[in-house]
Amino acid sequence: MDMSSSAPAIETAGLTKRFGDLTAVDRIDLSIREGEVFALLGPNGAGKTTFISMLCTLVRPSAGTARVAGRDIVSEGLAVRRNIGIVFQEPSVDDLLTGRENLQLHSMLYGVPRREIPGRIDRMLATVGLGERADDRVRAYSGGMRRRLEIARGLIHEPRILFLDEPTLGLDPASRQAVWGYIRDLRRRAGTTIILTTHYMEEADSLSERVAIIDRGRIVELGTPDELKRKVGGDLVRLRCGVGPEAFSGLDYVKEAVREDGGLRLTVADAPRHLKALLDRCPEVEEVQVRRVTLEDVFLKFTGRQMRDEEGGADSIFQRIAVSHNRR
């Protein structure tokens, strides 16, 4: 509302959250531009959700400060909440209400003008593919449908800053593509600043302008997806072509060439561009494999560990749903 265009959408300084002995978020300094799509990439338990919960004023920091839309998250919580929307990782839609009722109540809570509410609800339900099930109780929805309803709800009041906590967890590939498309569209059309957490590499890679790799509560690396991949060194090229590693010495784009499994393993900067030059040095080509560097490799390099446990994440969401059924 009263944010100049030069001010960052989000700025944190030494933001920390401790739960007893556990430091879930450990002195994070971060600045996110207005209109940026920013991904927090890390395994479960890395502190992503706690970090954005603090930014959304749901959890009070143990130390440090943060400003969201220019407002302090502790002393100006209400002003922060006026500017944000959030799609939670765990379902928070009311299962005794219908999809339409959930959106209706949300719009009223967020002060969407009465006259606009029905039109927006229909548009959002169509966007997430729930138009036909709008008047069924959420109790009868599948896990994927609930997530799509959550997403519709987080977007319906058109927030300036949108938090998406694992937005596509538990979605089938088609729904995932639809959600990605909507996120891109939202950014382009409305200039919404989007902060998403994910442990899907391809999600961070294809959506975001910058990625922060977060592990054990700290940001271990920050940059554009390309910058991060470049830091790993390059793509992997496996060759079986009747020459030794010495054939590729002196090429500045070949970082490394070693023998492996009766063939060669080369680390190459921008392999697609140099592949032809590489093959020209081989008298005969039996086998070629090119694997482009992924954020997975980046993660492995900077944390020394594999991203893991996608299944665990998917399980927990369904367990939550099961519990919520038995609540009342």
Distance CA(289)–CA(278), nearest Å, equals 12
For residues 55-114, which are near another protein according to CB under 8 A? 56-60, 78, 81-82, 84, 86, 88, 90-94, 96-97, 101, 105-106, 108-111
Indicate left, alpha or beta for 107 from its phi (over 0: left) and psi (-120 to 50: alpha): alpha
Q: Print the binding letters for residues 5-24 with another protein: x by CB under 8 A, - otherwise.
A: --------------x-----
Q: CB-wise, 59 or 298, nearer to another protein?
A: 59
CB of 155 to another protein, least distance (A): 14
CB of 159 to another protein, least distance (A): 10
300: contact with another protein by CB under 8 A: no
Q: CB-wise, 157 or 210, nearer to another protein?
A: 157
Q: CB-wise, 88 or 299, nearer to another protein?
A: 88
Which residues have a Cβ under 8 Å from the Cβ of 317 and sit 6 or more positions away? Answer: 89, 90, 91, 143, 147, 169, 170
Q: Report the half-sphere exposure of 246 (CA within 13 A, side-chain side).
A: 0
Distance CA(101)–CA(108), nearest Å, equals 11
Q: CB-wise, 96 or 279, nearer to another protein?
A: 96
Question: Are residues 146 and 90 in contact, defined by beta-carbon separation less than 8 angstroms?
Answer: no
Angle between helices 173-190 and 143-155 (to 10 degrees): 0
Residues that bind another protein (CB under 8 A): 19, 53, 56-60, 78, 81-82, 84, 86, 88, 90-94, 96-97, 101, 105-106, 108-111, 137, 153, 320, 323-324, 327-328
